[in-house]
Amino acid sequence: MTDRDRPAPEAFLRAAAQEGRGKLKIFLGAAPGVGKTYEMLSEGAARRRAGVDVVVGVVETHGRAETQALTHDLEILPRRSEPYQGRVLDEMDLDALLERRPQLALVDELAHTNAPGSRHPKRYQDVEELLAAGIDVYSTINVQHIESLNDIVASFTRIRVRETVPDSVLEQAEIEVVDIPPDELIERLKEGKVYLPHEATRALGHFFSKSNLSALRELALRRAAQAVDAQMLEHLRANALGGTWAGSERIVVAVSELSGADGLVRAAKRIADALHAPWTAVHIETARTRQFDPEDHKRVAAVLALATQLGGQVATLPAASVTEGLKTFLTDARATQLIVGKSSRSRLFELRHGSVVDRLVRQTPDVAVHVLPLKPATADVPARSRKRKRSLGDWGAPSGYVYTSLMVAGVTAAGSSLFHILDLGNVALLFLLPVMAAASLFGLRTGLFAGLLSSLAYNFFFLPPTGTLTVNNPENVISIIVLLGVAAVTSQLTSRVRLQADLAATSARTNAALAGYLREITALNDADEVARAACVEIARLLAVKVVLLKQSETGFAIQAASEAGFDLETMELAAAQWVSDTGQPAGRGTATLTASDWRFQPLQAGERILGVLGLARDDGGDPVRSDQLALLASLIDQTALALERLRLETEMRDVDTVRERDRLRAALLSSVSHDLRTPLTSVLAAAAELRRTREDPLLETIESEAMRLNRFVANLLDMTRVEAGALKLNIEPVDLTDAVASAVHDTRRSLEGHAIQLEVAPDLPLVRVDPQLFHHCLLNLLDNAGRYGNPGSPITVRAERRYDDLLLSVLDEGVGVPPGREDEVFETFRRLEGSDRSISGTGLGLAIVKGFAEAMGMTVSATNRTDRTGAVFTIGFPERLLVRGSDQELDI
């Protein structure tokens, strides 16, 4: 069984990974209103009638009566309520669905964003958990929510959706396209079956134009076709089925070192774009590739780099011949179209060597072959010199002919000594030995030379009349012809076996190098050690100088190198920075910043650039030959994976440390605050009772300080509630005038000496907030202004309407906030450098203000005053929190 007839082991591994998992089916639509939810519910109802346990996890009917009717006969799981910004959001109850464990779950709107507080931020992650639990899932999605198509849709609809689903989710799913013509969808929109009438009118003029719907429809159909094609190829590889199976177009372009190969790549890009098909540029390495000079390798590398820049895949495949290599690659890739170039050759050359294009056309009947003319080779002197050098090199080394002559002489001597006991035919067989040895050791042409020399020696020394090249007996002429023919065939076969052995040895060496490299770097547990080992091993394998750079506070710096003493110039560092910013290679041998002697490659894991690998040669040539690109790509990928593993392990350790620290801090805060609350209550009660019976200034001091300590304890409790997400909101309309007056009254003692200036108009709209939490926010802002304002300076509370928002500000006349660090003042336990340490405080007050404000849907910010020194802390109320007119009911 050949590799081509054997099922792909990767397909088996992917199939094994799916064992025990549920199956996902996605109903894909071009736009809202095409009937995705209706189709999903219809199939769910049909499955239920067939005896399948079906449960609706979540469904959005959007008030459509026909869709709502389909839910009557289905079990609908109650939703989970999640409070958010004064509202209660209903989300799918994932835990209840896992506990119910149906055979099939219907989960509408795959791209939905879950409410804060849910286990997963996205609904497709909920679906992933259901699939992992072995539950089949039906879901729906519109094409604009697919991550890879998001920007394409936005380019012509002028609307970019924020909720997207990774393409990897669709790759593992069965896709059913729910499609209706644009005219029919527009008619449904006009009839109010998609949106309410006033919304439908606006939608028709924007998103739901016929041109937009036609383009969206084409995208949906093409995306579904790509998914089906990928699944079909996976099935073919898993079952070792032959054939092209041209469900969609797959394009391959063959590139070489000849001039004009870049034109083939550009032509492949144009054809692929016209057909919306994937394409690959492939270079076949043969025995002739070993005779390439640096210029040839540079041209191949440049063509492959161009293919990568144009969005194609690249591959390098060793083979005995170009034809065999291309046939193998076309079969493995299930390609439907091949683009090759045909150079201008003489008729004599084609008669001697044949035509690769003609052989491809004959031997690949299932593939459409595009033949494009290549530019004729330049006739300059250096090109002729290279051609002559290469032609001479094809005949083999002179030492091979010398050793072949000696072998033929040795066989002739042995035949002469054994001639009296061997007949003439057996002596002829002896001469096959140097032919086979020469062809195996030195190549085809040397083997043919051995055959010719052997026939001459056999004729001269053994055929009568001996000592001449004359042949009297016709039978001996036939023996010589047969000897030459056998010698030629044996040389051809032996040379081919030798070439295949060399290719197998090269592949084995590459695999062994990768295995050894991977074994060495995965055994290390320190990023710097991995970087040093990577540089040393890559330098050894590719015979180059290697550096690995990483981002530091001052720019790019060398993290490790294959040897000491490297000092990169400004141009090299700029090239490395460009590689880090763009994720594309640069430097010598690429299409960008070619003046540098170094070639820089990004070390990329996912979307993150972990570092930049630099390669150079001592002679200043191209750091990487074209036949080394595949090996370099594998080494880079393994290095990036090793560094990413260490980074993630470090982050996990840090996360565990932070999580444990936060847990201990929360437990300490809760314990201390509760333990202080009881004695404080007793102190305040005792002070109030003593003040009722006597007048003593000390009692007022005791009561004032106890109340301040009580607020501190309350802040500790509030901070614990904020960080634990345990705030319970009681939203109701509040008058800002009353709220500000109440807060000023409660802080009159702590603000003694400060004049309070109120600039709150009585005609401002009511705001929807939690009165108690909002009161705490105002108390902390006023207390902060009293602490950091200058002694005796006024404190201003100002409320003003600005556009659609309402702003409430507290202004003091103190030192203000350090410029550029306005956001830091809201961090827990943060007191900025330069603040007066004599002022008491814990750094909790402003953090509590931010936590409470964001929980209620408000914003909070800090700036400096423009009219004088001092800080301004502002709470912003968006329009949705304002009560319009006399309406004081909560509209959720």
Model confidence pLDDT, tens digit, residues 731-742:
889 999 999 999
Q: Which tokens sit at 385?
A: 């010199």
Give all strands of the β-sheet with 368-373 in edge-to-edge order: 313-318, 279-285, 251-254, 337-342, 368-373
Average pLDDT over residues 51-74: 85
Q: Beta strands 871-877 and 805-811: pairing type?
A: antiparallel
pLDDT band at 715 (very low <50, low <70, confident <90, very high): low
Q: Does the CA dihedral 518-524-527-530 come out positive or negative?
A: negative
Give the pLDDT confidence score for residue 891 in this predicted structure. 35
Confirm if 51 and 102 have CB atoms less than 8 A apart. Answer: no
Average pLDDT over residues 537-544: 83
Alpha carbon distance 347, 706 (integer Å): 107
Greater confidence, 227 or 880?
A: 880
Give the pLDDT confidence score for residue 812 in this predicted structure. 92
Greater confidence, 563 or 768?
A: 768
Greater confidence, 664 or 59?
A: 59
- What amino acid occupies position 824? E
pLDDT band at 196 (very low <50, low <70, confident <90, very high): very low
User: Would you tell me the crossing angle of helices 210-239 and 9-17 to the nearest 10 degrees?
Assistant: 110
Average pLDDT over residues 566-579: 80
Give the pLDDT confidence score for residue 381 in this predicted structure. 37
Separation in Å, CA 751 to CA 122, 609, 883: 47, 53, 32
Average pLDDT over residues 155-169: 77
Q: What is the mean pLDDT of the chain?
A: 77
Of the ranges 481-490, 557-566, 811-820, which one carries the lowest mean pLDDT score? 481-490
Given a cut of 80, whether residue 272 has pLDDT beyond it is yes
Given a cut of 90, whether residue 138 has pLDDT beyond it is yes
Give the pLDDT confidence score for residue 391 in this predicted structure. 44
Given a cut of 90, whether residue 721 has pLDDT beyond it is no
Alpha carbon distance 858, 881 (integer Å): 8
Q: Which tokens sit at 886?
A: 């006399």
Alpha carbon distance 132, 128 (integer Å): 6
% the chain with pLDDT above 70:
76
Q: Where are the beta strands (DSSP E) in 671-804?
A: 732-734, 756-760, 767-769, 795-802
| 794-841 confidence digits (pLDDT tens) | 999 999 887 667 899 999 998 888 887 777 888 766 655 444 434 445
Alpha carbon distance 589, 567 (integer Å): 21
Give the pLDDT confidence score for residue 236 in this predicted structure. 58
Alpha carbon distance 760, 796 (integer Å): 10
Rounded to two decimals, what is the model's pTM?
A: 0.46
Given a cut of 50, whether residue 282 has pLDDT beyond it is yes
Average pLDDT over residues 174-180: 85
For residue 543, the number of C-alpha atoms closer than 13 Å in the C-beta half-sphere is 6
Give the pLDDT confidence score for residue 390 in this predicted structure. 45
Average pLDDT over residues 298-322: 79
Greater confidence, 293 or 793?
A: 793
Greater confidence, 14 or 611?
A: 611
Alpha carbon distance 557, 549 (integer Å): 5
| 417-452 confidence digits (pLDDT tens) | 877 777 776 777 788 788 778 776 776 678 778 878
Exposed, middle or buried: residue 123 (CB in 10 Å: 0-12, 13-18, 19+)? buried
3-state class of 282 per DSSP? Answer: strand
Give the pLDDT confidence score for residue 235 in this predicted structure. 58
Give the pLDDT confidence score for residue 554 in this predicted structure. 67
